[in-house]
Amino acid sequence: MTVKEFLNNLPNRVEPEALTGKESLFHFEIAGDEGGEYTVKIANNKIEVSDGLIGEAKCTVRAKAKNFLKVINGETKAMTAVMMGKVKISNLSEMMEFAKYLGF
């Protein structure tokens, strides 16, 4: 699975009812051949994924594609990757609140 496939599949992985009253905006800046820049918006009981960095993010996630893929494929625990500096998160409390909706 690529980073793009993972992020584009997020709307299908979360029930709209679970997002009631939830709102946030995330930027994913993933470096490398399988990376890219993406915006994930959580609002109005849905998740929308867009290419590029759109709007002002409450949280930005930065990583090399190989490290990000290890986290989403379950090869590395997300918290371990963060503590080792392999994945950088600008607003850890925002990520903690929305991690389960983002597949972490």
Of the candidates 86, 31, 23, the residue with the CA atom closest to the CA atom of residue 55: 23
Residue 103 located in a structural domain? no
**Structure tokens of 66?**
């190989």
Whether the predicted pLDDT of 42 surpasses 90:
yes
Residue 104 lies in a domain: no
Residue 81 inside a domain? The answer is yes
Number of domains in the chain: 1
- Rounded to an integer, the average pLDDT of 47-67 is 97
Q: Identify the band that residue 51 occupies on the pLDDT scale cut at 50, 70 and 90.
A: very high
**79 occurs within a structural domain:** yes
Residue 90 lies in a domain: yes
Does 60 map to a domain? yes
CATH value at residue 61: 3.30.1050.10
Eight-class DSSP state of 102: T
Domain that holds residue 82: 3-98
